[in-house]
Structures are given as C-alpha cells and as structure tokens.
Amino acid sequence: MDDSRIHQEVNKYKKFKKVEGATYRKVNQFLRKRTYITAREWALARLCTDFRTSGGAEMTFIGNHLPELVPFMKDTYSPQAVNQARNSFKKKVRKASATFFYGAMCGFFTTDELDDLLFEASEVARFLLEVEGTTLDIDEEIDIEDRITKVMRSVGEKAKTILKTRAEEEDPPKEIPVMPQQNSIIPDTASHSSKKPADTAEKDEKLKITAASDIPQSAPISSKSIFLVDGKNAMEGSIPKTDNA
C-alpha cells in the first residue's frame, strides 16, 4: 500500500468520532460497565474488521496509524500487539458466549428471561455500534435479532425438556404403598354354622363317655351304714324324726 493510498484510507475513516476528545481511561470505564472487553480490544477488533483483506487483517497498517484512526489511542502498536489484542477479544467473546449458553441450557433462566437478556444485550451492542459510527441496514439488523431470538428460544425449550427427562430418570415417581388387609378383631359369627361337624360331635360324645366312666360308682348303702349315721346324729343332738313318732 503506497503513501497516497494510506493517507486516503486514514482520512476517509470516520469511526469513533463520537468519542473524540475522550481519554482512554474514560472509554475503558464506559466499556467495563457494559461488557468484558477493554477500549484497546474494542478499537482493534473494529479496525481488524474494517481493514480485512483476503490474506487477513492489515496488522502493520493498523498498528502504525492507530492514533490517527482511533482518537483515544495515543500510541502506535506493533503487528504482534495488534494480533494479541485481536485474539484477546476473540477469547473473551467465546467465554461470554459459553457463559450465556450455559445459563440458557442449564434451566436457570426461563424463556421469557432469556428474551429479556437478549433484548438487553442487543441494546448494548446497538449502542456500541452507534458510538463507534457503524451503521447497519434496518432489515439486516432485524433479521439478525430474529435469528438469534429464534435460536435462543429453541435452546431454552430443548434444555427444559432435557432437564425434565433427566430428573425423571434419576428420581422415578415413588409408588404409594398399599396397606395389607387386616383381619377384623370382631369374630364373624354369622359365617359359622351352629351345627358341629360330624367328627367333632363324635369326639365330644367320646369325651362324655370317658368322663362318666371315671366317676366312681356309689356303693350300696347297708343298714349298718344307716345306723352309724343315725348314731352320729344322736351324739350331735340331732336325732332324725321318723314317721312313727
């Protein structure tokens, strides 16, 4: 790239004019409140995008003319320093994306909360584009937002289904134990017949006969036995009366 073309490229570059006069420290504080990137990473990521060629970004051109291209950058950068800032920007975007997707897929946020997060993030991104002087076609902007919203809502719904299925597999629903039937403590007399079985009746009859045979038979009463009883009664003063008296 010759000198005339270099000056032409530098002069026509009109980005970051809204922060002209602001110090690097002020811009850095502004970004830190809203994003994870620094002012250096923001500026160099924008320049690497605007001065991208088929062989990659113009690292040497960007580093040598950095103060002319970005008002709050006061020093020139080597190609290595430009590349380092560019890679740092990529790493932070990747980590932020992984954090965001984890929050969406782990079920921590509802689909409505994901919509709110996407809206807030798009507002911050749109504001940064406006500050740096980058304009997007309204149809292109709406298309990008719609695609991102559709993807994130799908991620949220799928994550909810996966978490529900996983929870059911790990903790299946417990069955309600069925209490065993207990016998009633009140005897059911109605179900018993008043008649005893034949074998039981025979046993009872045998028991009666046996009991009767065990009882000793009374000996015949003699007149001598009667006399002894009458004599005993006479001694005790209780003489029995007879019909002849």
- What total number of domains does the chain contain? 1
Measured between alpha carbons, how far apart are the two ends of the chain, in Å?
174
Whether residue 110 is contained in a domain is answered as yes
**pLDDT digit string, tens, across residues 44-99:** 999 999 888 777 668 889 999 999 999 999 999 999 999 999 999 999 999 998 99
Q: What is the pLDDT of residue 148?
A: 75
Average pLDDT over residues 2-26: 81
Whether residue 159 is contained in a domain is answered as yes
> What mean pLDDT is reported for the chain?
74
Write out the H or E segment, with its range, that includes residue 188. none
**pLDDT digit string, tens, across residues 166-188:** 667 766 656 566 665 655 455 55
pTM equals 0.59
Q: Minimum mean pLDDT among 126-130, 154-158, 177-181, 218-222: which range?
A: 218-222
Whether residue 215 is contained in a domain is answered as no
Task: Provide the percentage of residues in the chain whose pLDDT is more than 70.
Answer: 64
Whether residue 18 is contained in a domain is answered as yes
Q: What distance in Å separates the CA atoms of residue 10 and residue 7, rounded to the nearest whole number?
A: 5
Whether residue 123 is contained in a domain is answered as yes
How deeply is 22 buried, as exposed, middle or buried, from its count of CB atoms within 10 A (0-12, 13-18, 19+)? Answer: middle
Q: What distance in Å separates the CA atoms of residue 10 and residue 65, rounded to the nearest whole number?
A: 8
Q: What is the pLDDT of residue 224?
A: 46
**pLDDT digit string, tens, across residues 85-108:** 999 999 999 999 899 888 888 878
How many CA atoms lie within 13 Å of 103's alpha carbon, on the beta-carbon side? 14
| Domain region containing 45 | 3-170
Q: What is the pLDDT of residue 230?
A: 47
Whether residue 211 is contained in a domain is answered as no
Whether residue 45 is contained in a domain is answered as yes
Q: What distance in Å separates the CA atoms of residue 132 and residue 46, rounded to the nearest whole number?
A: 9
Q: How far is CA 148 from CA 107, 110, 154, 204, in A?
A: 18, 16, 10, 96
Whether residue 229 is contained in a domain is answered as no
| The total number of residues written for the chain in this structure | 245
Question: Is the model's pLDDT at 225 over the cut of 70?
Answer: no
